[in-house]
């Protein structure tokens, strides 16, 4: 019998054809529970837009924002979702450059998460500005009065960074998917799917020259996305660090934010993929090796974030200035009126990840699922602590105030999770959720060496062959 050589990273996958079968079968009519879940997310999206509509009609006061707390849960959630996106690019681009061969089976889903997370994040500045119909003022465009944005302002940097990030990650996502869309096209049976994948796959055939240009383009896109992802959250952090607000004006912010972003993003990848693995039977594609690798990166970034907490607390204390000590979100946050937020952050982001030191925890899907839920919560409250605690206690004590998130704000945030999940659910059933072509790169190629010789079948003067799933299945 033929020798069977197994992949080191994905030993349970037998052949190239098996990959196509396992992955492309997801592109079919979904079941009842999927439909119900999708309906729930759509309901949440409707809730979000309704709450936003109420805020537009009645005014930005509905958000609970008032002086001096001009930034509240919207900017918190913006930073949260931008951060979530970072793990997707880490897995798809940075680990690609590092040739981490386990990434192949999960990077597509992580990359989709990036695109949808940035789409979600992009809503929040627009919601936050209060008059969304003037949001185009952010973009430099030639106008009659020749008024341009101030390029010395961090908020304009943010527009460029997040805009570029969305464009590049969406491009990278789509370009990487072209060969898989061709595979989906070739096995699609339902006419509308066949037509959809035909258009999206751009007539890809997998010729040597297509592959040559494709692999080079993919490499350069990865090389461009790598510095980009590190820059995006740095620029987001400079929205804070460039201002003279106690607790914000700190050089540690860029690495602190980037580490936090990767930390939270990896947590979100695991939160999404662990149930998907179970529901869709992708055990061969998402293994304890994956959770272990991601858990190690989470542990590293959790330690960086915790170090930044310690720095913040130390600097706040060491300046010996009332505003830094009160406004510095860690010192004051831990004892002041926002103590619950700060302690949630420290518990979820420092204490809970200590469990990741244990190999058995890192390789347990159930444990990782629970831990990543904690991390998701903790990272949202980290941003909440940074923004709200500092703004409540700036340098002028007569301007101190408290902030309570409003019902409108909370409904919009809840709805944003629905918005994100709605896109992700649609992605799961409409696009190949695991990269069919790239996974084959880490599988052993079928070789003649392994097989017994067999007869060659020659068919000459054959009538034109129609693709599988065209004529007979139409």
- Binding to another protein in span 133-162, by CB under 8 A: 140, 146-152, 156-157, 160-161
Q: Which stretch binds another protein (CB under 8 A): 119-127, 277-285, 363-371, 445-453?
A: 445-453
Among 3, 449, 452, 472, binds another protein (CB under 8 A): 449
Residue closer to another protein (CB basis): 29 or 454 = 454
Q: Which residue from 302, 295, 297, 299 is spatially nearest to 364, judged by alpha carbons?
A: 295
Residue in 279, 397, 467, 473 binding another protein, rule: CB under 8 A: 467
Contact characters 191-220, another protein, x per CB under 8 A: x--xx--xx-xxxxxxxxxxxxxxxxx--x
- Residue number, 360 or 459, with CB nearest to another protein: 459
Rank residues 151 and 398 by Cβ distance to another protein and give the closer one. Answer: 151
Helix (H) or strand (E) run with residue 106 in it: none
CA torsion through residues 312, 313, 316, 320, sign: negative
Minimum CB separation of residue 180 from another protein in Å reads 8
- Kindly tell me which of 192 and 320 has the beta carbon lying closer to another protein: 192
Residues 418-437 that bind another protein (CB under 8 A): 436-437
Which of these, 48, 65, 61, 159, lies nearest to 387 by C-alpha position? 65
Hey, which residues between 70 and 109 contact another protein (CB under 8 A)?
A: none
Closest to another protein by CB, 398 or 458: 458
Q: What is the torsion angle, in degrees rounded to the nearest 10, for the CA atoms of residue 37, residue 406, residue 124 and residue 81?
A: -60
Cis bond before residue 256 (omega within 30° of 0): no
Q: Pick the binder of another protein from 235, 259, 345, 356 (CB under 8 A).
A: 235
Smaller CB separation from another protein, 261 or 270: 261
Distance between alpha carbon 372 and the CA centroid of its chain, in Å? 14
Classify 66 as helix, strand or coil: strand
Q: Answer left, alpha or beta for residue 434, where phi above 0 means left and psi between -120 and 50 means alpha.
A: beta
Token look-up 């809730």 returns 47
Looking at the Cβ atoms of 13 and 344, the one nearer to another protein is 13
Site for another protein contains 15 (CB under 8 A): yes
Interhelix angle 407-430/107-128, rounded to 10 degrees, is 150
Contact 249, 395 (CB under 8 A): no
Site for another protein in 322-341 (CB under 8 A): none
Q: Of the listed pieces 65-73, 168-176, 245-253, 314-322, which binds another protein according to CB under 8 A? A: 168-176
Give me the least distance between CB of 404 and another protein, in Å please. 33
* Main-chain phi, psi angles of 299, to 5 degrees: -65, -45
Question: Are the C-beta atoms of residues 219 and 175 closer than 8 Å to each other?
Answer: no
Size of the site for another protein (CB under 8 A): 86
Residue 266, classified by CB atoms within 10 Å of its CB into exposed (0-12), middle (13-18) or buried (19+), is buried
The answer to whether residue 59 forms part of the interface with another protein (CB under 8 A) is no
Which residues in 355-374 contact another protein (CB under 8 A)? none
Contact between residue 346 and residue 312 where contact means Cβ atoms under 8 Å apart? no
By beta-carbon proximity to another protein, the closer residue of 112 and 352 is: 112
Name the residue nearer to another protein (CB basis): 161 or 348.
161
Q: Which is nearer to another protein, 214 or 369 (by Cβ)?
A: 214
Beta carbons of 115 and 166 less than 8 angstroms apart: yes
**C-alpha angle 381/127/375, rounded to 5°?**
20
Packed helices 253-279 and 73-89: angle between N→C axes, nearest 10 degrees? 70
| Cβ at position 19, least distance to another protein in Å | 8
Return the range that interacts with another protein (CB under 8 A); candidates 67-75, 259-267, 406-414, 450-458.
Answer: 450-458
Give bridge partners of residue 69 from the DSSP assignment: 66
Measured distance CA(438)–CA(92) in Å, rounded: 11
**12 near another protein, rule: CB under 8 A:** no
Shortest Å, Cβ 184 to another protein: 9
Nearer to another protein, 205 or 278 (CB): 205
Q: What are phi and psi of 66, to 5 degrees?
A: -155, 160
Minimum distance of another protein from residue 100's CB (angstroms): 18
Is 251 a binding residue for another protein by CB under 8 A? The answer is no
């Amino acid at each position: 019998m033929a020798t069977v050589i197994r992949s080191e990273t994905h030993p349970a996958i037998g052949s190239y054809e098996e990959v196509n079968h396992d992955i492309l079968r997801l592109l079919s009519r979904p079941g009842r529970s999927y439909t119900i879940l999708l309906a729930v997310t759509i309901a949440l999206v409707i809730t979000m837009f309704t709450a936003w509509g109420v805020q537009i009609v009645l005014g930005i006061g509905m958000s609970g924002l008032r002086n001096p707390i001009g930034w509240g849960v919207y900017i918190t959630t913006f930073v949260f979702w931008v951060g979530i996106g970072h793990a997707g690019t880490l897995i798809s681009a940075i680990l690609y450059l590092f040739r981490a061969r386990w990434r192949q089976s999960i990077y597509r889903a992580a990359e989709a998460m990036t695109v949808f997370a940035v789409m979600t994040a992009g809503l929040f500045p627009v919601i936050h500005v209060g008059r969304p119909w003037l949001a185009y003022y952010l973009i430099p465009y030639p106008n009659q009065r020749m008024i341009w944005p101030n390029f010395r302002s961090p908020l304009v940097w943010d527009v460029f960074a997040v805009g570029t990030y969305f464009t590049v990650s969406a491009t990278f996502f789509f370009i990487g998917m072209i060969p898989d869309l061709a595979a989906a096209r070739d096995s699609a049976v339902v006419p509308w799917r066949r037509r959809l994948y035909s258009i999206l796959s751009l007539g890809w055939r997998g010729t040597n020259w297509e592959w040559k240009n494709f692999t080079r383009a993919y490499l350069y896109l990865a090389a461009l996305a790598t510095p980009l992802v590190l820059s995006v959250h740095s620029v987001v952090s400079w929205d804070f660090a460039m201002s003279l607000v106690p607790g914000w004006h700190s050089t540690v912010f860029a690495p602190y934010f980037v580490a936090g972003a990767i930390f939270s993003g990896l947590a979100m990848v695991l939160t999404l993929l662990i149930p998907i693995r179970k529901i869709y039977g992708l055990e061969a594609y998402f293994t304890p090796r994956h959770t272990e690798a991601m858990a190690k990166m989470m542990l590293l970034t959790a330690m960086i974030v915790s170090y930044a907490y310690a720095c913040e607390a130390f600097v706040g204390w060491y300046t010996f200035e009332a505003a830094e000590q009160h406004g510095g979100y860690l010192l004051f946050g831990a004892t002041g009126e926002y103590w619950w937020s700060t302690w949630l952050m420290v518990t979820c982001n420092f204490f809970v990840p200590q469990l990741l030191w244990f190999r058995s925890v890192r390789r347990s899907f159930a444990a990782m699922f629970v831990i990543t839920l904690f991390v998701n919560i903790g990272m949202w409250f980290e941003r909440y602590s940074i923004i709200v605690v500092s703004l409540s206690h700036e340098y002028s004590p007569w301007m101190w105030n408290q902030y309570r998130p409003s019902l409108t704000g909370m409904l919009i945030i809840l709805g944003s999770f629905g918005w994100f999940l709605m896109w992700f659910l649609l992605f799961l059933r409409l696009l190949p959720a695991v990269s069919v072509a790239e996974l084959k790169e880490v599988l052993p190629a079928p070789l003649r060496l392994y097989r017994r010789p067999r007869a060659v079948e020659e068919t000459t003067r054959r009538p034109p062959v129609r693709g599988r799933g065209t004529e007979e299945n139409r």
